[in-house]
Amino acid sequence: MSASAGCGITQNYDPYLKLIISNYINIIHPSNLGLDSTKMDNFESRYRDADLPASSSAYLVWHLLPIIGVFPSLWTLYRRQGSREQLAISRLSITLAISWLLGYLFLATGAANLDFLSVRLLLLNSFLTSGYFLISLWLIIVTIRGKSQRIPGFSRFAEEIFDKYLS
């Protein structure tokens, strides 16, 4: 009896559920939101440039976030579009992240394999990770203040590496 009653209830609510779902889909359809669904060039909104210029500090901060900022930086360098400042920050962000990742992996591997140095290597690993996050935080603060986002020696190294191997 409960199975047939359950089917009757779902059958009674089926038209209402379909109506709710169709209204919801109509509300969130891209054409109703003012977006052109046929032109989705590089999955970017056509309003991005009006809301957030490429050289604004909020847009550059995205690239400087530890670990997460690597992905927009890679995308920027892959497209080879953006201001000179944006490309420089993207190169710096990727170089910092790769340096941290390599150091982290080497120190963690050494700590796992060398019993007599494991504590020291793990301590160095934590210093390296803290340094990466602090440098990223410092770069974010400097970017928000509108000053130069260069790290002496490291920024030039990042530019040389990307110009030499990825151009």
Domain ranges of the chain: 1-36, 51-167
Please tell me the number of Cα atoms within 13 Å of 107 on its side-chain side.
17
C-alpha to C-alpha distance for 164 and 112, rounded to whole angstroms:
35
Q: Which two tokens stand for residue 138?
A: 């410092």
C-alpha to C-alpha distance for 144 and 71, rounded to whole angstroms:
20
Q: What is the DSSP letter of 49?
A: H
Tell me: the pLDDT tens digits for 32-55?
555 555 554 444 444 344 444 555
Tell me: the pLDDT tens digits for 82-135?
888 888 888 889 889 999 999 999 999 999 999 899 999 999 999 999 999 999
Q: Which two tokens stand for residue 85?
A: 């400042």
